[in-house]
Chain A
Amino acid sequence: MTDTLTPLREPMAPGEPLPMKQRSRRLRRVGLGLVVPVAALALWELGTAAGIISTRLIPPPSEIGATLVDLASDGALWVHTLATTLRVLIGFVLGAVVGTILGAATGVSERFRVLFDPTLQALRNIPSIAWTPLFILWFGIFETSKVLMIALGVFFPVYLTFSGAIASVDRGLVEVGKAYGFGTFKLIRRILFPASLPTYVIGLRSGLGLGWMFVVAAEFLGASEGLGYLLVDGQQTGRPSVIIASIAMFALLGKLTDRVLASVGARFTYWQDGFVRDGVSR
Chain B
Amino acid sequence: MIQLSSVSKQYPSGHLAVTGIDLSVPEHEILAVIGPSGCGKSTILRLIAGLEEPSSGSTRVADHEVQGPDQSVGIVFQQPRLMPWLTVERNVAFGLDKGEESSGEVAEVIARVGLTPFARALPRELSGGMAQRVAIARALVTRPPVLLLDEPFSALDAFTRIDLQAHLLEVWGWYRPTTFLVTHDIDEALALADRVVVMGGSPGTIRADITVDLDRPRSRTAPAFHRLQDRAMTELGRSRDVPTATESVTG
What is the interface of chain A, defined by CB distance below 8 A to chain B? 1-3, 5-8, 10-11, 170, 172-173, 175-176, 178-181, 190-191, 194-195, 197, 269, 271-273
Contact of A271 among B75, B85, B159 (CB under 8 A): B85
Query: B237 interface residue, CB < 8 Å from A?
Result: no
- CB pair A172 B127 closer than 8 Å: no
Given A172-B77, A194-B83, is A179 in contact with B117 using a C-beta cutoff of 8 Å? no
- CB–CB A3/B130 < 8 A: yes
DSSP class of A's interface residues: helix, strand, loop or mixed?
A: loop
Contact status A2-B160, CB under 8 Å: yes
A178 and B81 within 8 A (CB): no
Does B118 reach chain A (CB closer than 8 Å)? yes
Give 25 pairs: A residue, B residue, CB < 8 Å, sorted on A.
Answer: A2-B129, A3-B127, A5-B117, A7-B117, A7-B118, A8-B121, A11-B87, A172-B77, A173-B83, A175-B51, A175-B77, A176-B77, A179-B50, A179-B51, A179-B69, A179-B95, A180-B94, A181-B68, A181-B70, A195-B83, A195-B84, A195-B85, A197-B85, A271-B85, A271-B86
- Which of B68, B84, B94, B123 is packed against the most chain A CB atoms within 10 Å? B84
- Is B163 at the interface (CB under 8 A from chain A)? yes
B240 at the interface (CB under 8 A from A): no
B109-140 interface with A by 8 A CB criterion: 114, 117-118, 120-125, 127, 129-130
Q: A1-B167, A5-B114 are in contact. Are A172 and B129 (CB under 8 A)?
A: no
Query: Does B3 reach chain A (CB closer than 8 Å)?
Result: no
Q: Is B39 an interface residue (CB 8 A)?
A: no
Q: B79: CB under 8 A from chain A?
A: yes
Give the complex CA separation of A175 and B121 in angstroms.
23
Residue of A nearest to B162 (CB): A2
Q: Which of B161-192 contact A (CB under 8 A)?
A: 163, 167
Q: When chains A and B are docked, how far (Å) is the Cα of A273 from the Cα of B125?
A: 9
**Contacts A5-B117, A175-B81, A273-B123 given; 10 further ones with Cβ under 8 A?**
A1-B163, A1-B167, A2-B129, A5-B114, A172-B77, A172-B79, A175-B51, A175-B77, A180-B69, A181-B68
Q: Determine whether the beta carbon of B84 is less than 8 Å from that of A272.
A: yes
B7 within 8 A of A: no
B127 contact set on A, CB distance < 8 A: 3
Flag if A271 contacts B129 (CB, 8 Å).
no
Q: Does B49 count as interface, using CB distance less than 8 angstroms? A: yes
CB of A172 within 8 A of CB of B81, answer yes
The answer to whether A271 touches B118 (Cβ under 8 A) is: no
- Complex Cα distance, B91 from A251, in Å, reads 42
A3 cross-chain contacts in B, Cβ below 8 A: 127, 129-130, 160, 163
Shortest C-beta distance, B169 to chain A (Å), equals 13
Chain A residues whose CB sits within 8 angstroms of the CB of B68 once the complex forms: 181
For A172, give the chain B residue with the smallest CB separation. Answer: B81
For A174, give the chain B residue with the smallest CB separation: B81
Total interface residues on B, CB under 8 Å, equals 33
A11 to B120, CA, bound (A): 8
Note all chain B residues with C-beta closer than 8 A to A271.
84-86, 122-124
Chain A residues whose CB sits within 8 angstroms of the CB of B121 once the complex forms: 8, 10-11
Q: With the chains together, A125 CA to B206 CA distance in Å?
A: 56
B69: contacting residue among A8, A181, A190, CB under 8 A: A181
**Are the CB atoms of A191 and B51 closer together than 8 Å?**
no
Q: Judging by beta carbons under 8 Å apart, are B81 and A173 in contact? A: yes
- Closest-by-CB residue of B relative to A274 is B124
> Shortest Cβ distance from A7 into chain B, in angstroms?
4
User: Of B69, B114, B125, B159, which one neighbours A178 at CB under 8 angstroms?
Assistant: B69
Contact, CB under 8 Å: A176 / B159:
no
Judge whether B85 and A180 touch: CB under 8 Å.
no
Query: B19 to nearest A CB, angstroms?
Result: 24
Report the separation of the CA atoms of residues A266 and B101 in the bound assembly, to the nearest whole angstrom: 26
What is the bound-complex CA distance between A269 and B79, given in angstroms?
A: 22
Tell whether, in the assembled complex, residue A273 and residue B114 are in contact, meaning their CB atoms are under 8 Å apart.
Answer: no
Closest chain B residue, CB of each to CB of A1? B163
Residues of B within 8 A of A190 (CB): 94
| Distance A179 CA – B167 CA, assembled complex (angstroms) | 24
9 closest pairs, A vs B, by CB? Answer: A273-B124, A180-B95, A7-B117, A271-B85, A172-B81, A8-B125, A181-B69, A179-B69, A194-B85
B residues within 8 A CB of A11?
87, 120-122, 125
- List, in ascending order, chain B residues with CB within 8 A of A172's CB: 77, 79, 81
